[in-house]
Structure 1
């Protein structure tokens, strides 16, 4: 059973100089925050849902919109709001698309340290945002990055985690998640203890993305990076992509065969 308690020494340290600001607003003016940190007090609403939108080379990964669909359903069942976040460089278009997909507000961070995913700067920044706007549920896609980031930030904040889920159910104010295990031979139903936020990652190609609504309005909040390049212990030396190949992660049907088929004609 996952543990949703958020108290303890695992909470992320806050730099008081770190201040989010709404687009077009004075960067020195606090926007939201807890008393003694960012100059105001916010209520811990149990119905708020948060989703991290993964991007690669300035384009949203399809799993981001699938996670948005799952998050939107949970937010609707809880009767709460939906907040998204996207980090990178030139992510304004993704933020706008997130609002069209159902987000009420979107946190954006654009910095050279965030162009390529690295767990340290992403986790530190996400933990600070979650401390500033504490949600009930944090969702992201169960990609390689999403699985790593969710586990890292859950450990930083002392939150419970249910990875690789295929179903999410809300009964009253209680969230349960269904996740396969042992290569699908076992299906477990996970619930959370405590009142803190819960981390959930959703399996790829399970939740159907919602149709975008260009008429939706939302708020974009710009935040600075949490770490400088000198504070990050890892670097991205190079990125190799396989051009001209089909992504199996996005295929609806996969037909495979062994050496015995002899070649394409064997299918």
Structure 2
């Protein structure tokens, strides 16, 4: 769908300019012109008193899928440090690229200012190439600035797949880029696969798809994007067969980070951005970190989580003491959050944070499928629960059937004894 201006009817009254919420209409001389910011929201159509603006259906099948190559991973960086999820996605992108073809590459996309040093880290975690967009105006993240330069780069270099981490920035940036490129976006994915989708696959499985647009003599290697749906009660697999690039955001902690290969190198491609201060509609005056305790579940090596079995909110005092003793952070199940016992930032699961620590302690958590999906890839799972039939024991490496209010103090006591013994033997 596209919005167009009928020049012979346009009177240059500027009513459409005032009505557009995205500043997507400009006056060129005495005529209104639709620019690339248009999202086809239709607000300008009723605003025009002269019927000079209308929408048209774009012809399907106009995208030449063969022009698009390689996988791009948005290597999100903050203050010169690449986010851990970006390194996970570079490893996943490398796996997917090898499934597409021997020629396909995984490319990291770095946006910022004075960030060239980060390319080395991307190469060492598996990137074949790094596209780097640098400019003083990109020093700090702004939605307008980053969206513009990424859209321009995608239009020029035509990646087949673009993947973002489902961080606060990724969730803000990805849908805006997708809208500008008129392509789809699958959010909060927990699994990505390459599927060789033949003509018959489409004909049989996608009854709403116009198979006349497909070549029966060729196979299309599309991206299968799997995410939770209906509150996490089922998993939906989504494809994007007609437009490119295929775009996804992926939850942190879901994908496996590739082992770092020290000294690995690749191709560094510097992209000169066409950006001006007028392209950025906000001004950053200061960046203030929250004064409250910041929970970093995705980076934690040890997580101590509490659930409904705690009985009430005071139970998290014991969980906090436990986490402090073992050098971990506090997590929770959805039931504890819904009960108002702890903030949502601590929630682990499909509707919370997906984690993959070295050790995960599940205390008083029965093990609903939504919670298991968010932590079952942990290296070691220790479950403490009164109910011997609790589902959590099916995924636990170590299970303790008992009252957590008796078991956890004993673990803390034994931890103290082990520390005292270690101190005595090392003096």
Tell me the TM-score normalized by structure 1. 0.77
CA distance in structure 1 between the aligned counterparts of 2:152 and 2:116, rounded to whole angstroms: 20
Contact 1:166–1:206 under 8 Å retained in 2: yes
Aligned with residue 172 of structure 2, among 139, 148, 170: 148
Contact 2:120–2:265 under 8 Å retained in 1: no
CA distance in structure 2 between the aligned counterparts of 1:203 and 1:107, rounded to whole angstroms: 23
Aligned with residue 60 of structure 1, among 82, 98, 106: 82
With over 3 angstroms needed to count, the CA separation of the structure-2 counterparts of 1:245 and 1:197, relative to structure 1, is: closer
Structure 1 residue 8: deviation in Å? 6.2
Taking the TM superposition and a 5 Å limit, the aligned residue runs for 1:39-50 are: 44-50=66-72
Report whether the alignment pairs 1:261 with 2:315.
yes
CA distance in structure 2 between the aligned counterparts of 1:195 and 1:228, rounded to whole angstroms: 29
- The residue number in structure 2 matching 1:251 is 300
Structure index of larger Rg = 2
Q: Residues 120-157 of structure 1, C-alpha deviation per residue, up to 9 Å, x if partnerless?
A: 11011001111111011111111111112110000000
CA distance in structure 1 between the aligned counterparts of 2:127 and 2:88, rounded to whole angstroms: 13
Taking the TM superposition and a 5 Å limit, the aligned residue runs for 1:84-103 are: 84-103=108-127
Aligned residues: 232
With over 3 angstroms needed to count, the CA separation of the structure-2 counterparts of 1:193 and 1:161, relative to structure 1, is: same
Unaligned runs of 5+ in 2: 4-23, 25-34, 37-64, 197-220, 322-404, 409-427
Contact 1:113–1:225 under 8 Å retained in 2: no
Report whether the alignment pairs 1:231 with 2:253.
no
Tell me the TM-score normalized by structure 2. 0.50
Unaligned runs of 5+ in 1: 1-6, 14-42
- The residue number in structure 2 matching 1:23 is none
Secondary structure, aligned partner of 2:162: strand
Contact 2:125–2:261 under 8 Å retained in 1: yes
Secondary structure, aligned partner of 1:95: helix
CA distance in structure 2 between the aligned counterparts of 1:215 and 1:250, rounded to whole angstroms: 24
CA distance in structure 2 between the aligned counterparts of 1:263 and 1:195, rounded to whole angstroms: 51
Secondary structure, aligned partner of 1:130: helix
Structure 1 residue 113: deviation in Å? 1.5
Structure 1 residue 201: deviation in Å? 1.1
Aligned with residue 71 of structure 1, among 79, 83, 93: 93
